Copies of this chain bind each other. A is one copy, B any other.
Amino acid sequence: MKKIINNPADVVSESLNGMQQAYPEFLEYTPDAEIISRHERGNKVAVISGGGAGHEPLHAGFVGKGMLDAAVSGNIFSSPSPDRIGTAIKKMNTGKGVLLIVKNYSGDIMNFGLARDLAEADGIEVESVVVKDDVAVLDSTYSTGRRGIAGTVFVHKIAGAKAEAGAGLPEVKAAAEHAIANIRSMGMAMTPCILPAVGRPGFTLAEDEIEIGMGIHGEPGVERTGIKTAKETAEILLDKILADYDYSNSEVAVLVNGLGGTPLMELYILNKEVQAYLKKRGIKVHKTLVGNYTTALDMTGCSLTLMKLDAELKELLDKPCDTPALKF
């Protein structure tokens, strides 16, 4: 297994530790609970997210001014325990309440739900929202209903901006729900990822084969097919996204996301095709992000995300943020 690691059992704690040491002036690392949190935050609603590790920079890379207050990590592709999430809730609550942003996977739904119940029993006001942006499949290996994938980054941005502006918990929750309702994503994978503790791919794809709609844990997608050009890839993924939600005559934010092993050059080529596709359909692009934002370890492939913007979402999207993985 060719990875820059030490003991496979330690990859999560060591990577969070190493991440915090790149930003000591504004991030804190809580060992054992595997929490990355902000040093500086006002007396505001706390926005917390998290989930399995292996999707870096999601979620810890979005901790900072204008986005998350804390991110809680589980093991690779495995939900954090309710105990860890509860520690983050107690640590970040300033009395204004806590919003949990949860990706729609059964383990996350259960553990964040339990942590919420326990915190509420302790008198902390907690709300949660569930991101389910992946239009590829309705039910999946680890989800009932749609999976939550890279669109989560936009939910972090919108909820974080609203909380930073001093809004109350119901308003921050409403902004996050409003973003979720307007976000759709879909991806494709070209090569599988290798889990450090396993040391070999969990499945195989032939030399000339890709999988459309594969999940960010390698869950089955909708179709295995031959290699596509960048133009075909943009068309296949965006056709499916546009068939699912009406983006016509709208203004959107775009995320062209890499899965970890795909270099920036390819994502930029894909972006050229995405922009051409949207222009042809009269969809106006307000802001575009291109890069590795929500990954699946060293998997190669991509996902595309659109968020339809109205005045409120546009204003919140454009507000400044200062995190390791996103700065406006």
Docked complex: A257-292 residues within 8 A CB-CB of B: 260-273, 275, 288-290, 292
A34 within 8 A of B: no
Could you say which of B2, B265, B275 contacts A210, with CB atoms under 8 Å apart?
Answer: B2
Q: Which B-chain residue is minimally distant from A55 (CB atoms)?
A: B265
Q: Are B264 and A21 in contact (CB under 8 A)?
A: no
Instruction: Please tell me how many copies of the chain the complex holds.
Output: 2
Residues in B neighbouring A231, C-beta threshold 8 A: 6
Could you say which of B3, B230, B290 contacts A266, with CB atoms under 8 Å apart?
Answer: B3
Given A2-B191, A191-B2, answer yes or no on A56-B263 (Cβ-Cβ < 8 Å): yes
Given A5-B266, A261-B263, A265-B54, answer yes or no on A22-B295 (Cβ-Cβ < 8 Å): no
The answer for the CA separation of A50 and B50 in the assembled complex, in Å, is: 39
A125 within 8 A of B: no
The answer for the CA separation of A269 and B262 in the assembled complex, in Å, is: 20
Could you say which of B18, B233, B263, B269 contacts A275, with CB atoms under 8 Å apart?
Answer: B18
Q: Are B230 and A4 in contact (CB under 8 A)?
A: yes
A190 within 8 A of B: yes
Could you say which of B2, B15, B23, B230 contacts A269, with CB atoms under 8 Å apart?
Answer: B15
A19 within 8 A of B: yes
Q: Are B265 and A2 in contact (CB under 8 A)?
A: no
Given A53-B265, A298-B300, answer yes or no on A230-B5 (Cβ-Cβ < 8 Å): yes
A302 within 8 A of B: yes
Q: Are B266 and A22 in contact (CB under 8 A)?
A: no
Residues in B neighbouring A11, C-beta threshold 8 A: 265, 269
Q: Are A22 and B57 in contact (CB under 8 A)?
A: no
A16 within 8 A of B: yes
A229 within 8 A of B: yes
Q: Are B5 and A229 in contact (CB under 8 A)?
A: yes
Residues in B neighbouring A233, C-beta threshold 8 A: 4
Residues in B neighbouring A21, C-beta threshold 8 A: 271-272, 275, 288
Q: Are A268 and B22 in contact (CB under 8 A)?
A: yes
What 8 A-B pairs are tightest by C-beta distance, nearest first? A18-B272, A18-B268, A18-B271, A4-B266, A15-B268, A260-B263, A2-B190, A56-B264
Q: List 26 A-B contacts (CB under 8 A).
A: A2-B190, A2-B207, A3-B266, A4-B190, A4-B233, A4-B267, A4-B269, A4-B270, A5-B230, A5-B266, A6-B229, A6-B273, A14-B268, A15-B266, A15-B269, A18-B267, A18-B269, A19-B268, A22-B268, A22-B271, A56-B264, A57-B264, A261-B300, A263-B297, A263-B298, A264-B292
Which residues does A use to contact B, with CB under 8 Å? 1-6, 11, 14-19, 21-23, 53-54, 56-57, 61, 190-191, 207, 210, 227, 229-231, 233, 256, 260-273, 275, 288-290, 292, 295, 297-298, 300, 302, 327
